[in-house]
Structure 1
Amino acid sequence: MEKVDLEKLALNGGAPARSKPLPPNYPGAVVMGEEEAAQAAQIIKAQSPFRFYGPDLRNSVTAMERMMEKDLGVPYALGVTSCTAALVVALKALGIGYGDKVIVPSVTFIATAGAVVAANAVPIFADVDDSLNIDPADLERVMDEEVKAIIAVPILGTSCDMDPIMAFAKKHSIHVIEDVAQSCGVRYKGRYAGAIGDVGVFSFQMNKIITAGEGGAVVTHSPEFYERAARYHDQGLLRPQLKERHGLNPDEETAAFIGQNYRMSEITGAVMVEQWGRLNGIVQTMRNHHRYLKQALAAELPDMKFRYSPDEQGDIGSNLGILLDSAEQAKAFTEALNAENIGVHTLYGSRPVYMVPQIFNKRTAEKDNFPFNYPFKNPVVYTEDMCPRAVDLVARMVFLPVSPVLAPSDLDEIVQGITKVYKTLF
């Protein structure tokens, strides 16, 4: 590859490829408008921000849930306060707690593992494949009789390889939770992520594909799991509105149990009604941008390696993953592109989630570091190198967020800037 004068890099005093930074990486927030404001204002004017009662209840959370049910093809959706809450609710819906283990991908946000601990279970970590998502081929290595569930996490817009994950879970009679926090709208072989496993969870936090600042949801095909989720998110109650809507008629003397408060507010629900309606447009725009960038870069840089996907057609295109040959190359590439006003990054400090100190050292706020103090038959041991592919790949995979508000000129400047940096450095 022909070398280019190093002085052309902005890092070395050259003119940057872009005169200003890319749009902030908040896909749902950057397309917010008067519609979201009007929906939220209706709730405030009605003086009824609580979900289940008020002087003029508008039922916005219910409306959002119905939209999710229709579009995802699931009979049950439940709005909650966050995706972390949704994970805890999902785990409790499945009856998981103290003395149980849950398989978690080694590359994910801390909340995935943290929610397992919050549910009083212990995470064990499976390695990743070339998609940077959980590797189905590594599940058998970490499986034992104390494992009760797998959490599959489609990271940054690319689906997990769900067929072998579901087959593994069926073989061992364990549950599958899909943590779709970063990838709302992603599909796998035509099915929406979140609607494939036993329970799916979604995030509406600020960074996510659609947002109300905070918020989350739980979806399932199971009336049993839905009822348990609804109870756990609302102090063990099953409100009349939820009973009637879904035709549930349990015996409260035997069905009720103690829960938490993870109820979604009507203001959040109102914003999410508008945001959910924008989802398809956001995803299609990001897919188009992603396709353009990848094709243009492949033409300019035929040896560039991109992130693998088990179902590229189903990806939402929210992030373009570029794989470098080493962590050192990834660091240099990231620094040079950021200087060009093309914001890129590696994930989570370039390390697996189990290396976060509080997880690695099994520290909790509870006595004796509960629930890690459970006397497991097969003790849970974390080592730095226990997931070697995660250690390797997360440090050399560079991600470019693909905003839905990029203009054609932005796309061309991104291609030109990445081409300049890549040819100069490598």
Structure 2
Amino acid sequence: MKKPAIEGGTPARNKPLPPNYPGAVVMGQEEAEFASKVILAQSPFRYYSPDPQSAVDKLENAISAKMNIPYALGVTSGTASLIVAMKALGIGYGDKVIVPANTFLATPGAVVCCNAVPVFCDIDESLNLDPAALEQVYDEDVKAIIVVPILGNPVDMDPVLAFARSKNIAVIEDMAQSCGVTYKGQYGGTIGNIGAFSFQMNKIITGGEGGAVVTRDLDLFERAIRYHDQGIVRHRDRYGIDSPDEEFAFVGQNYRMSDITGAVLFEQFNKLDEIVASMRRSHAIIKQALSVQFPELQFRNCPDPDDGQIGSNLGFLFPSAEAANKFNQAMHAENIGTHALYAGKPAYRTAAIFNQRTADKDNFPFNYPFKNPVIYTEDLCPRAIDLLPRAAFLPIAPTLTEQDVEEIIEGATKVLHSLREQARVL
């Protein structure tokens, strides 16, 4: 067996892997032409302009058709999509929202920006929310659950939905990292009450920024439209909405997507199947090769292992944080950039959340006098504390070549053999 590069051997690769920007690395002429068309028409605003190109409309129609969901709304960011989704559900001051311990800061941050308070649910070996842990964090002030399929891995939705129905609370799907994920044949984002997507730079498809909200409920959709556009509804005929502003309008914000962003995202969305198919193919080859050579190697669980995950990241679970760190260091020496997610820490350990600090007076909304106060402690979610430092992720770009895949397998094989010899176990 060849020596790992970290021990003086030759690296498996002579340059780093493609950057972890799945949508951006396949950007090309199509996005440039449609965005240019909008600009040359001098019509960047979606709702009125000299020569409307209707790019956001086209994006929303494409999302609806592909994901088999009647209502889709383009917004400015993934965070905006979460806020709009929660405001559509009427979530606000005095409410709690369950979020998984493993997610980006934006998920609990959006809850706080809606004047509600996040409560954190532990995770399982999928590294997503553990449905069996929901009862432990539920109380009468909880109004919704946000599930987050982390890095392309679906959430086990059936027990989440069953729990939510039993408590009469909503389910929001934060699909920021996982556009294209499915669960039992249904697209993630379309399974709960309302779905939120992000199209930021390192997402599966990207406009640099951007987001979308999807739902099957017209009443929720009308509230989403209103909140994202100062409380009003334009293009009423497009959605079949006839409720008068005089009776139904409320104060909203401005989260409108521009038609330039819509143009880029429309062409990106047309490439989603191609992106996902490429990532899945490389993911399957690498996982299979390593599984055969290292049957003791543990990967993160997938609730829908056949078709659900999109292959954007191969997740490993090591016996210890030390082993995971050694793996990452050795893989970097091979020019293969594996990494820990969020420094191996749960979301509630983020300083602003953990210390319950906001820009508002008295740290509103954390100052709400809940019957059961929300208190964050370092060991709040024991499984997350255990699992996250032991997890390592290999990003898989949609542009990987056969040679790239072979070199990844070669590098990982060298590193894993060395770890096996050092620790006698992976």
**TM-score of the superposition, structure 2-length normalised?**
0.97
Matches within 5 A, 1:264-413: 264-312=257-305, 313-413=307-407
Report how far residue 425 of structure 1 moved. Answer: 2.1
From 13, 23, 26, the counterpart of 1:28? 23
Report how far residue 314 of structure 1 moved. Answer: 1.1
2-side partners of 1:387 and 1:326: how far apart? 17
Report the 3-state secondary structure (helix = DSSP H, G, I; strand = E; otherwise coil) of the residue aligned with 2:97: strand
2-side partners of 1:251 and 1:26: how far apart? 43
1-side partners of 2:325 and 2:253: how far apart? 43
CA shift digits 1:376-426 (9 cap, x unpaired): 011001111110111111111100001110011111111110010111122
From 55, 58, 64, the counterpart of 1:60? 55
2-side partners of 1:323 and 1:414: how far apart? 18
2-side partners of 1:305 and 1:54: how far apart? 55
Counterpart amino acid of residue 47 in structure 1: Q
Q: In the alignment, is the contact (CA less than 8 A) between 2:154 and 2:303 conserved in 1?
A: yes
From 83, 88, 101, the counterpart of 2:78? 83
1:103 matches 2:101: no
Report the 3-state secondary structure (helix = DSSP H, G, I; strand = E; otherwise coil) of the residue aligned with 1:314: coil
Report how far residue 237 of structure 1 moved. Answer: 1.1
1-side partners of 2:106 and 2:252: how far apart? 20
Report how far residue 339 of structure 1 moved. Answer: 1.0
Counterpart amino acid of residue 192 in structure 1: Y
Counterpart amino acid of residue 82 in structure 2: L
Report the 3-state secondary structure (helix = DSSP H, G, I; strand = E; otherwise coil) of the residue aligned with 2:343: helix
CA shift digits 1:251-276 (9 cap, x unpaired): 21120000000000000000111001
1-side partners of 2:53 and 2:28: how far apart? 20
1:245 matches 2:238: yes
Identify the residue that residue 418 of structure 1 maps to in structure 2.
412
Counterpart amino acid of residue 249 in structure 1: D
CA shift digits 1:142-168 (9 cap, x unpaired): 000000000000000010000000000
Identify the residue that residue 140 of structure 2 maps to in structure 1.
145
1:129 matches 2:124: yes
2-side partners of 1:51 and 1:122: how far apart? 34
CA shift digits 1:310-333 (9 cap, x unpaired): 001211011001111000110111
2-side partners of 1:168 and 1:234: how far apart? 33
CA shift digits 1:118-138 (9 cap, x unpaired): 000000000001100000000
Identify the residue that residue 93 of structure 1 maps to in structure 2.
88
Counterpart amino acid of residue 310 in structure 2: I
Report the 3-state secondary structure (helix = DSSP H, G, I; strand = E; otherwise coil) of the residue aligned with 2:73: strand
1-side partners of 2:146 and 2:30: how far apart? 35
Identify the residue that residue 39 of structure 1 maps to in structure 2.
34
1-side partners of 2:308 and 2:137: how far apart? 28
1-side partners of 2:121 and 2:247: how far apart? 38
1-side partners of 2:138 and 2:300: how far apart? 27
Q: In the alignment, is the contact (CA less than 8 A) between 2:152 and 2:312 conserved in 1?
A: yes
Report how far residue 13 of structure 1 moved. Answer: 3.0
**TM-score of the superposition, structure 1-length normalised?**
0.97
Report how far residue 210 of structure 1 moved. Answer: 0.5
Q: For structure 1, which runs of at least 5 residues remain unmatched after alignment?
A: none
2-side partners of 1:246 and 1:213: how far apart? 27
Identify the residue that residue 423 of structure 2 maps to in structure 1.
none
Report how far residue 177 of structure 1 moved. Answer: 0.2
2-side partners of 1:13 and 1:371: how far apart? 54
Report the 3-state secondary structure (helix = DSSP H, G, I; strand = E; otherwise coil) of the residue aligned with 2:270: helix
Report the 3-state secondary structure (helix = DSSP H, G, I; strand = E; otherwise coil) of the residue aligned with 1:89: helix
Q: In the alignment, is the contact (CA less than 8 A) between 2:4 and 2:411 conserved in 1?
A: no
From 210, 217, 223, the counterpart of 2:212? 217
1-side partners of 2:12 and 2:311: how far apart? 22
2-side partners of 1:253 and 1:246: how far apart? 19
Q: CA RMSD in A?
A: 0.8
Provide the aligned length of Structure 1 versus Structure 2.
Answer: 419
2-side partners of 1:254 and 1:276: how far apart? 36
CA shift digits 1:56-80 (9 cap, x unpaired): 0111000000000011111100000
2-side partners of 1:299 and 1:197: how far apart? 37
Identify the residue that residue 234 of structure 1 maps to in structure 2.
229
Counterpart amino acid of residue 260 in structure 1: Q
Counterpart amino acid of residue 55 in structure 1: P
Identify the residue that residue 197 of structure 1 maps to in structure 2.
192
Counterpart amino acid of residue 326 in structure 2: A
